[in-house]
Amino acid sequence: MYTVDTLQTTDRDPRDRGEWWRHQVSSIHCPMSFKLPDNYHGRLQHQRSDTYQLVRWWGDAEDISRDQKQIRTDPHDAYELLIPVEGVLALRQSDETLRVAPTQMALTSLDQSMDLRHGDGFSSIAFVVPRERLDLRLLRRPHSGVILNATSGLGRIVVDLISSVRENGASLEGSQFDALCDRIVDLLALAYNADTAAPSLDVQDGLVASIRRFVRENAHDPGLTGAVVAARLGWSLRNIQTQLQRVDTTPSDLIRAERLALARVRLQDPAWHRQSVTQVAYASGFGDLSTFSNAYRRHFGERPSDTRSSALAED
């Protein structure tokens, strides 16, 4: 489901505006604590699908915090990209204090304690991303808030695309909104990797590593295909194919190799010795025993039963 809403405190009784604002912001992001007056003035524009949220807000001064108790009670498993438009945002996370100006954007985790503070006349954009959507694209995961350049290069493209999605929000369908947000995540990951990776690290290698990691973690799924990998990672199938071509493989070859590796580990694992070779094959993502046996012999130079026999002899 995709919705676009504009919400503002002026539609509420002055005595209820502060509490109403607390409720709205917490429901959009996650449960937080606020220090603000009862007669608070704020406005927000909210685009939301089942996967992504994009918010532009204007407001008076406020202090916002999220502590470990709130995180344990209501884990959110998401990142938030904050892009100030007017005013400066003070952000504290993991004992690091950052000042985020309109020329910058900050990538933060909603599952780490944080404190946010800004003055009157402040406005900002917030883009909420499921953690797995971004983690699979990152060379290294952020341990605290990270400031990125929003005025040039990839950072500027991220900001421009977010602005365009906001401006055209009412004319988009849910699938279009999600597809555009997927592209934003791709670009954000590239900007983050370029700004934070050591010079010797190749960003493209990081993308290949993300594909390999996802396939390895899901090789047991008999429905896993290149198209499924692309959809789950939020990329195009062509992009997946291009990245894997750099390392002389294809989506189907990579999936088969990871399934074979998983099956071999299980054939050698004493915990799986009660399972037949056929059961191991099916549990490792293969849908046909003959296909599995032939592929296994070509890959490892022995039959699956030979691997099982050798493992049993060593016990």
pLDDT in tens, 98-131: 899 999 999 999 888 999 999 999 999 999 999 8
Q: Given this model, what pLDDT does residue 145 score?
A: 81
Q: Is the pLDDT of residue 141 over 80?
A: no
Q: Is the pLDDT of residue 239 over 90?
A: no
Q: Given this model, what pLDDT does residue 314 score?
A: 64
Q: Given this model, what pLDDT does residue 194 score?
A: 76
**Residue 140 sits in a domain of what CATH number?**
2.60.120.10
Q: Which of 147, 175, 201 is the last residue of a domain?
A: 201
Among 165-179, 192-206, 243-257, the least confident range: 192-206
Q: Is the pLDDT of residue 140 over 90?
A: no
Q: Given this model, what pLDDT does residue 236 score?
A: 82
* 184 and 217 housed in the same domain: no
Provide mean pLDDT across the span 177-190.
90
Provide mean pLDDT across the span 234-250.
85
Secondary structure of the chain in the HEC alphabet?
CCEEEEEEHHHCCHHHHHHHHHHHHHHHCCCCEEECCCCCCEEEEEEECCCCEEEEEEECCEEEEECHHHHHHCCCCEEEEEEEEECCEEEEECCEEEEECCCEEEEEECCCCEEEEECCCEEEEEEEEEHHHHHCCCCCCCCCCEEEECCCHHHHHHHHHHHHHHHCHHHCCHHHHHHHHHHHHHHHHHHHHHHHCCCCCCHHHHHHHHHHHHHHHHCCCCCCCHHHHHHHHCCCHHHHHHHHHCCCCCHHHHHHHHHHHHHHHHHHCHHHCCCCHHHHHHHCCCCCHHHHHHHHHHHHCCCHHHHHHHHHHHC
Q: Given this model, what pLDDT does residue 237 score?
A: 87
**Cα→Cα distances 260→97, 136, 266, 312, Å:** 47, 22, 10, 19
* 211 and 181 housed in the same domain: no
Rounded CA separation 163/180 (Å): 11
- Band of pLDDT at residue 296, cut at 50, 70 and 90: very high
**Torsion of Cα atoms, 251 then 187 then 109 then 122, to 10°:** -160
**Residue 231 sits in a domain of what CATH number?**
1.10.10.60
Tokens of residue 191, six digits: 């900007």
Rounded CA separation 114/90 (Å): 10
Q: Is the pLDDT of residue 167 over 50?
A: yes
- Quick: pLDDT tens for 184-222: 998 998 888 877 654 444 445 667 888 888 999 999 999
* 11 and 23 housed in the same domain: yes
Q: Given this model, what pLDDT does residue 203 score?
A: 46
Q: Given this model, what pLDDT does residue 209 score?
A: 82
Closest CA to 162 of 207, 195, 124, 117: 124
Better-scored residue on pLDDT, 138 or 45: 45
Q: What count of other Cβ atoms lies within 10 Å of the Cβ of residue 261?
A: 15
* 225 and 178 housed in the same domain: no
Number of domains comprising the chain: 2
* 168 and 229 housed in the same domain: no
Rounded CA separation 155/177 (Å): 20
Q: Given this model, what pLDDT does residue 26 score?
A: 87
* 208 and 197 housed in the same domain: no
* 165 and 292 housed in the same domain: no
**Torsion of Cα atoms, 296 then 242 then 137 then 150, to 10°:** 180
pTM of the predicted structure, to 2 decimals: 0.64
* 187 and 226 housed in the same domain: no
State which residues form the domain around 297: 204-314
Q: Which of 201, 235, 254 is the last residue of a domain?
A: 201
**In this structure, are residues 311 and 247 in contact, taking their beta carbons and an 8 Å threshold?**
no
**Cα→Cα distances 34→91, 125, 180, 270, Å:** 14, 19, 32, 54
Q: Given this model, what pLDDT does residue 206 score?
A: 66
- Band of pLDDT at residue 74, cut at 50, 70 and 90: confident
Q: Which of 167, 201, 235 is the last residue of a domain?
A: 201
Q: Is the pLDDT of residue 261 over 50?
A: yes
130: left (phi over 0), alpha (psi -120 to 50) or beta: beta
Q: Given this model, what pLDDT does residue 205 score?
A: 60
Q: Given this model, what pLDDT does residue 200 score?
A: 40
Tokens of residue 71, six digits: 């995180």
* 168 and 211 housed in the same domain: no
Largest CA distance in the chain: 79
* 164 and 209 housed in the same domain: no
What is the chain's mean pLDDT, rounded? Answer: 89
**In this structure, are residues 214 and 229 in contact, taking their beta carbons and an 8 Å threshold?**
yes
Q: Given this model, what pLDDT does residue 138 score?
A: 79
